């Protein structure tokens, strides 16, 4: 944790500088008759962020913050495994949205999580993986008129049937 805290502070300091650089593409000072420039607000706030990372590093050096006193790992083997399984599942879910549509990706993610990670029965898994995407479809597309990503063209026939029902 101790090493992780100072690395995080360093990354955030670099991020603050990055934000200052981007903000400085617009005027950052006071322009007579026009007020503060468009970049002033984010630039000076990023500057404050940079200063606070200095304080965080100072506190780390003096071991006054709890993470700076801890010698334990940021994530242990269980933590990394959980992060890989859940984070990887989410990543796969979002990648699949553009391929098999929001509803298709939702069904695949639910099968992955409920059956593989949760070890629930196939019956429960399939009920959830089929019923939820349909419920979401009718709520968002039917009631709220919000169109979710429909994926690649091969999902077209399925959508034709579904739109036939709601319109």
Partner 1 sequence: MEVLGLLGDGMWQAVQPLNLMLILIGVTLGLFIGAMPGLGSVNGVAILLPITFLVPPGSAIIFLAAIYYGAMYGGAISSITLGIPGASTAVATTFDGRPLALSGRASLALVTAALASFIGGSVANLLFTGFAPLLASVALSFGPPEIFALMLLAFATFVGLGGDDIPKTVFSICIGLVFAAVGFDKITGTPRLVFFDISGFLHGINFLVLAIGVYGIGEMLWTLDSTRGKITKSDAKMSVKGIVNDSKEGMKRGWKGTAIGSFLGFFVGILPAAGATPGSLMSYGVAKMVARRPEEFGKGHPGGVAAPEAANNSASTGSMLPMLTLGIPGSPTTAILLGGMVIWGLTPGPRLFVDQSEFVWGLIGSFYVSNFFALVINLAFIPLFIWMLRMPFTILAPLIFVLSVVGGYAATRDMHDVWLMLGFGIGAFFLRKFDYPLAPAVLAIVLGPIAEQTLRQSLLMSKGDPTIFVDIVNRPVATPITIIAIILILLPLFKYIRDRRRGTAQTPSG
* Residues in touch with partner 1 (CB under 8 A): 1, 4-5, 8, 12, 19, 22-23, 25-26, 30, 34-36, 38-39, 41-42, 45-46, 48-49, 52-53, 55-56, 59, 64-67, 74-75, 78-79, 82-83, 86-87, 89-91, 93-94, 97-98, 102, 106, 109-110, 113-114, 117-120, 124, 128, 132, 136, 139-140, 143-149
User: Among the residues of the chain, which ranges form H helices?
Assistant: 2-23, 40-61, 66-69, 77-82, 88-110, 122-137, 156-166
Angle between the N-to-C axes of helices 122-137 and 88-110, in degrees from 0 to 180, rounded to the nearest 10? 90
Q: Which is nearer to partner 1, 14 or 124 (CB)?
A: 124
Q: Give the separation between CA 17 and CA 42, rounded to whole angstroms.
A: 11
Nearest to 13 by CA among 41, 44, 51: 51
Q: How far is the CB of 119 from partner 1 (least distance, A)?
A: 7
Of the pair 74, 158, the CB lying nearest partner 1 is at: 74
Exposed/middle/buried for residue 136 (C-beta within 10 Å: 0-12, 13-18, 19+): middle
Question: Quick one: 56 or 100, whose CB is closer to partner 1?
Answer: 56
- Decide whether 7 or 165 has the Cβ nearer to partner 1: 7
**Which contiguous run of DSSP H or E holds residue 30?**
strand 30-31
φ, ψ of residue 104 in degrees (nearest 5): -65, -45
Least spacing, CB of residue 159 vs partner 1, in Å: 17
- Nearest approach, Cβ of 67 to partner 1 (angstroms)? 5
Q: Minimal distance in Å, beta carbon 60 to partner 1?
A: 9
Min. distance of Cβ 154 from partner 1 in angstroms?
A: 19
């Amino acid at each position: 944790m101790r090493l992780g805290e100072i690395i995080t502070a360093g990354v955030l300091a670099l991020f603050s500088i990055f934000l200052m650089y981007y903000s400085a593409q617009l005027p950052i000072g006071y322009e007579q008759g026009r007020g503060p420039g468009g970049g002033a607000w984010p630039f000076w706030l990023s500057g404050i962020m940079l200063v606070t990372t200095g304080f965080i590093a100072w506190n780390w050096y003096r071991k006054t913050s709890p993470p700076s006193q801890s010698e334990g790992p940021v994530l242990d083997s269980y933590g990394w495994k959980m992060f890989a399984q859940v984070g990887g599942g989410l990543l796969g879910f979002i990648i699949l949205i553009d391929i098999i549509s929001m509803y298709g990706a939702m069904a695949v993610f639910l099968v992955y999580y409920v059956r593989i990670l949760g070890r629930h029965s196939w019956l429960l898994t399939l009920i959830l993986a089929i019923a939820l995407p349909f419920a979401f479809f009718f709520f968002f597309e039917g009631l709220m008129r919000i169109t979710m990503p429909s994926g690649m063209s091969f999902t077209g026939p399925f959508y034709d049937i579904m739109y036939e029902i709601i319109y």
